[in-house]
Amino acid sequence: MNKKLNTALFLIGATILNLVLMFVLIILGWVGIAALKLPPLLLIVVFLGSMVGSFLIYNQVIKFVSRKIDMEKYFLPLFRRRRPGGGAAPKP
């Protein structure tokens, strides 16, 4: 497989992982609200908390994976690095 395909598959897999994590956190929050008989208004808090929680877990998983494998060897860079001056390259 080439770097483009690896990058595309990684992005698809990472997106699915993030959505599954969010779904699991939402279900756990719903179960917690139902078990404790809390007001249904807290569903909004559960939804927002699950988005934040899935993002934080996802970041930790990506950091762990990037420590274990050399990402630059298998994937294309998604974002170009900024130049030290911070500005655009001068035009000739």
Burial class (CB in 10 A: 0-12, 13-18, 19+), 50: buried
Q: Is the predicted pLDDT of residue 79 greater than 70, yes or no?
A: no
> Does the structure show a pLDDT above 90 at 7?
no
Query: 3-state SS of 30-68?
Result: HHHHHHHCCCCCHHHHHHHHHHHHHHHHHHHHHHHHHHH
pLDDT tens string 45-71: 999 999 999 999 999 998 898 888 888
Q: Residue 73: pLDDT band by 50, 70, 90 thresholds? A: confident
